[in-house]
Chain A
Amino acid sequence: MDTMLSATNLVKNFETSAGVVKAVNDVSFDLQSRHTLALVGESGCGKSTIASAILRLTDIDAGVVKFGGDNVALMNMNHLQEYRRNVSIVFQNPYSSLNPKMRIREIVGEPLRVCYGLKGKELVDRVEKHLLEVGIRAEHINRFPHQFSGGQRQRIAIARALALEPKILILDEPTAALDVSVQAQILNLFQDLKQRLGLSYLFISHNLATVEYIADRVMVMYLGKIVEQGPVKAIFENPAHPYTRALLDSVPSLDPANRHQLKALHGELPDPTNLPDGCAFYSRCNRAQDRCKTSSPDLLTMGRDHAAACFYPITLEIDT
């Protein structure tokens, strides 16, 4: 099992009129080959910023992203091109991620044209091949995005991401904008492609059930920090961090008999420009003690490959 992509101590701050927001605050992770790592969190946790940082769409303020052992930030143009061939992204909104004025032949062909200079029949053959991989028939190759449904558009976006035959795919909430009956198709497609093409996924989502279905490992983020990480079974069955527990409790159950188990996490996110000292989750935590107010926990080992940034994890007995 080798590491395809690694991030170490990433930091990204944004200057806003209200102050400095630490969008990504010391985040580290490894993505293994043929693995799906999920980044879970709500708005403002920094997960989309991490995706941008990995693709070098934004510069990071500190930390290192390495691909195959090479530092991404130090890559020259050629090396960077090669890196971009290996890491692709599928965005959330299939209505916005495809240029409405381009035919899908041109959309899926663009990366091939730009990176390899492919043209003519060679280009069309490759485009058709990738469209077929996602289940779009070749005869539709000259159509425009608006002539397709949401699910089909997302598949076209996936075909575009696969055009350069990457090893890693970043999936940024890829099913959030789709109808329920279509989401399953896309999720199954991802599983299928991962098998067939040997891909690794960085799966960003706030939908816990989808994450449980598709991921091997999970990282839970809150206000720019990783609060818990581990194999999906451990996280979902034995969450250690109170925020992870709260997230799981907030998910409404499909069984009406369980409706009274729905528990809302009280309070709101604190002001990100004015984070308190100590644990970022202190204001909403029902297990918080004095220590949590003044010092911020690092990721502490909870079990095999399972870590949480909490002084009083759920697995520990305390007086609440």
Chain B
Amino acid sequence: MSETVLNMRNLRVTYPKLSSKVDVVRNCSLQVGQGEILGLVGESGSGKSMTAMSCLGLVPKPGRISGEIEVGGQQIVGRSESQLSEFRGGLSAMIFQNPMTALNPFLNISDQMADAIVSSRPLSRSEAMSESLAALHAVYIPNAEACLAKYPHQLSGGQLQRVMIAMAIACKPRLLIADEPTTALDVTIQAQVLLLIRELASEMKLAVLFITHDLSVVASICDRVAVMYAGEIIESGPVADVFKAPAHPYTRKLFSTVPTLGSKNKQLEYIPGQVPDMSNLPAGCAFQSRCDVAMDQCRDSAPNLSASGPGHLAACHLVASHEDMN
């Protein structure tokens, strides 16, 4: 059993709104072990990015985090900014969707990588340089020395994303958080980056929290998956199980809304209605207004996570009733 690197319990992220407040992440719990890739799936507004940012204490103000987040044994919630910046880079690192905006256009790659490395470990500039080269090699950048001298605008989207991954792993983190790293990339480059992340996770024994809205990306590199809806995790489990037999009605519907290669005549479904307003959530299940199997119970009380299989949880009253029966 691999050691747990990220342990998140009951995470809540709250934002003030007018004279009251809104929870954009409500009671999220998840774990990621060494060498494991956990896919965090959700649509816009589900809270997945906030959940990821919380792991690094990067929730934009005036958001407030409560709950417990432990990375490599260190507590994240409640730490001061200076303590957190020690963790960032060395303990956990993050890569973002748009590498062009995540990198400083005025500094060359060498300077940016050296800055990142030196801020997490006390190395000399020349030691940092050789670490940078090693990292660039690890992400298969051809001609790494030349790359170091370049500026972000001189590199392509795929190369920039690799550089960002190199920067992240150069600090030898235990946890890598990838926030939609391939969404903005062309499909052939996406395949390259996905395979790279998969390789790095297993070679470096990295724990990876991979955020995406694309279920097929999850299928191709993730070991486990957690599905978020309206700020909560509504289903989680091993990818093989969840994909074979999705338990939550939302997850099931998601699968049938996605066109896939080789299924031209599949009737595409859609989920009627919209994501609920987070400041005005109904009592009971957040998904009930759009669910085709909603029962009276769903309107009255919010379901807890119940087991639909070994290690496979879903927050649904229907699942809970089946679990009771078994």
Contacts and interface: CB of A to CB of B under 8 A. Distances in A.
Task: Judge A-B direct contact (beta carbons within 8 Å).
Answer: yes
Interface of A: 42-43, 149-150, 179-185, 187-188, 206-210, 212-213, 232-233, 236, 246-259, 262-266, 268-269
A201 B321 CA distance: 48
21 contacts: A149-B274, A150-B44, A180-B213, A181-B253, A184-B269, A185-B270, A206-B187, A212-B262, A212-B264, A232-B264, A249-B191, A250-B187, A250-B188, A252-B190, A254-B215, A254-B216, A254-B219, A256-B239, A264-B192, A265-B188, A265-B192
A268 B266 CA distance: 34
Given A188-B268, A209-B259, A268 B158 contact: yes
Contact of A256 (B43, B189, B219): B219
Contacts of A246: 188
Interface of B: 43-44, 156-159, 186-192, 194-195, 213-217, 219-221, 239-240, 243, 253-255, 257-262, 264, 266, 268-271, 274
A268 B191 contact: no
Given A251-B261, A253-B261, A208 B187 contact: yes
Interface of chain B: mostly helix, strand, loop or mixed: helix
Contacts of A213: 259, 264, 266, 268
Given A180-B43, A209-B260, A264-B195, A253 B216 contact: yes
A42 B243 contact: no
A180 B254 CA distance: 7
A254 B242 CA distance: 12
Contacts of B270: 181-182, 184-185, 188
Contacts of A259: 219-221
B261 A209 contact: yes
Nearest to A185: B270
B187 A251 contact: yes
Contact of A42 (B43, B188, B268): B188
Contacts of A257: 240
A187 B191 contact: no
B254 A181 contact: yes
B243 A254 contact: yes
Contacts of B259: 184, 187, 209-210, 212-213
B261 A250 contact: no
B186 A42 contact: yes
A250 B188 CA distance: 5
Given A209-B260, A250-B187, A254-B260, A187 B268 contact: yes
A42 B188 CA distance: 8
Contacts of A182: 270
A181 B214 CA distance: 11
With most chain B CB atoms within 10 A of its CB, the pick from A209, A232, A250, A252 is: A252
A251 B263 CA distance: 14
A188 B268 CA distance: 7
A205 B16 CA distance: 40
A263 B191 contact: yes
Contacts of A266: 192
Contacts of A236: 261-262, 264
B262 to A, nearest CB: 7
Among A180, A206, A264, A266, the most chain B Cβ lie within 10 Å of the Cβ of A180
Given A42-B186, A268-B156, A255 B219 contact: yes
A252 B159 contact: no
A262 B220 contact: yes
A42 B156 CA distance: 13
A55 B188 CA distance: 29
B245 to A, nearest CB: 12
A236 B265 CA distance: 14
Contacts of B268: 184, 187-188, 213
A255 B159 CA distance: 28
Nearest to A249: B191
A246 B190 CA distance: 12
B260 A253 contact: yes
Contacts of A187: 259, 268
A181 B43 contact: yes
A247 B188 contact: yes
Nearest to A243: B188
A256 B188 contact: no
B260 A180 contact: no
